[in-house]
Amino acid sequence: MPSFDISSKVDLQTLDNAINTVTKEISTRFDFKNSPVKIELNKKDFVLHLEVESDMKMKQVIDVVISRAMKQGIEASAFNFEKDAYPSGKTVKKEVPVRNGLKQEDSKKIVKLIKDSGMKVQVAIMDDIVRVTAKKIDDLQEVISLCRASNLGLPLQFINMKS
């Protein structure tokens, strides 16, 4: 039976390349000249640490991070910018977790979305992926288009298509 997996993974090397590009661009920009800017990626925990002079510069750094990551092929929804920046002495700090892998509640949302659509497919949660199987590949393609059309706020990849 044809099947595929739905996952939400960010390639660490691609993310590291995007952050290095951001660091290089920020260091050459005139508006960041002589201002303390620190951009670090914790590769173990997938957390981005940003430290800048003011809130305005924090917004500019975030814009550069999103644009460079998208050019590298990482979706903007992979970054969780919900936490507010906090002042620390003369600088403003912000921790930005990078979503890597589907959490249990996200998997349940995807399963509910697919089951509510009434398509004739079987859906199973396997750790941090969701496996979808059907009798026809056309049904699987409909599931892919359904997941892309619904706004789940997750960067989804559709992998391991087998017929």
* Topology given in CATH for the domain delimited by 3-8+101-162: Alpha-Beta Plaits (3.30.70)
The residues of the chain scoring below 50 in pLDDT are none
Q: Give per-residue pLDDT as tens, 70-99.
A: 999 998 889 998 888 888 888 999 999 998
Q: Which amino acid does the sequence have at 145?
A: S
Q: Which amino acid does the sequence have at 92?
A: V
Q: Which tokens sit at 17? A: 């390349």
Strand-pairing partners, residue 151, are none
User: What's the pTM?
Assistant: 0.82
> What is the pLDDT, as a whole number, of residue 83?
87
> What is the pLDDT, as a whole number, of residue 152?
83
Which CATH entry fits the domain spanning 12-97: 2.40.37.10, 3.30.70.990, 3.40.50.300, 3.30.450.20? 3.30.70.990
Backbone angles phi, psi at 16, to 5 degrees: -65, -40
> What is the pLDDT, as a whole number, of residue 162?
85
Number of Cα atoms under 13 Å in the Cβ half of residue 157: 17
Residues of the chain with CATH 3.30.70.990: 12-97
> What is the pLDDT, as a whole number, of residue 94?
93
